Amino acid sequence: MFWKSRIKQVVVGLGNPGISYDGTRHNLGFCIVDEMAKRQGVKIDRKKFDGAYVKVALNGVDIALLKPLTYVNNSGIVVRAFTRYFKVKPKDVIVVQDDITLEPGLFKIKVGGSDGGHNGIKSVGDFLDEDNFIRVKCGVGTKKNKNMELADWVLTRFDAGEKGKIEAMIPRVLECLECIVKDGVSQAMNKYN
């Protein structure tokens, strides 16, 4: 109960549960929040509302790192239950997502607006009944084969060249997330967008 009243923000990583999805483009959000936890010396291993989470103090602010385990397209179910229980407002939710419009290695902060065709973002917006949550959009690149279904593309893994760009991007995304928590989204957008 002590933590329930103290969580100020929730950083949500989007992804699909299960080993078969590890390392796929769609699981980049999971990968980044796992790295954020690792940086804090913890694991995301507590369970609540069909999600895995951990609570950490980041720059003096108590936050939760959350991985919905309902598959990307139903992420909003977990985010709504979690934020209602911990009394976190939608504007204090930061969602780390994969983005096909950005090349691997690039990322962008966005607040509110369209889901851009991302079903996980659509689900979060639908279940929060608001779209003013923060998104950190991490590039996974556009499909190389025009005949390939988008759903199949986001479940592919990065090639060697892309992997290097993703590995170089992750520390910058972690700094960006810390900046959002510490200094606010406007300052982070000025610095990283």
**Residue 165 amino acid letter:** K
Number of neighbouring beta carbons within 10 Å of residue 107: 22
Distance CA 117, CA 106 (A): 19
pLDDT for residue 168? 97
Regions in the chain scoring below 50 on pLDDT: 1-2
Model pTM score: 0.95
Phi-psi sector, 107: left (phi>0), alpha (psi -120 to 50), beta: beta
The pLDDT, as a whole number, for residue 2 is 46
Of the listed 26, 67, 110, 135, which one is catalytic? Answer: 26
> Which residues, including other chains, have CB under 8 Å from residue 55's CB and lie 6 or more apart?
3, 7, 46, 62, 63, 64, 65
Grouping H, G, I as helix, E, B as strand and the rest as coil, residue 5 is: coil
Architecture (CATH level 2) of domain 9-192: 3-Layer(aba) Sandwich (3.40)
In contact, 169 and 105? CB cutoff 8 Å: yes
| C-beta of residue 8 within 8 angstroms of C-beta of residue 61 | yes
pLDDT at residue 145 in the model: 87
**pLDDT score for 4:** 52
118 tagged catalytic: no
What pLDDT is recorded for position 51?
96
Q: Is 117 exposed, middle or buried (0-12, 13-18, 19+ CB in 10 A)?
A: exposed
The residue ranges of every structural domain in the chain are 9-192
Q: 70: which 2 tokens?
A: 């309902």
CA 47 – CA 15 distance, rounded (Å): 16
Look at the block and give the residue holding tokens 């996974």.
140
Residue bearing tokens 């910058």: 172
What pLDDT score does 5 carry?
52
DSSP 8-state secondary structure symbol assigned to residue 158: P
DSSP states along 100-164: TTS-TT-EEEEESS--TT-HHHHHHHHHHT---SEEEEEE----SSTTS-HHHHTTSBP-HHHHH
Q: Which candidate, 98, 136, 104, places its Cα nearest to that of 119?
A: 98
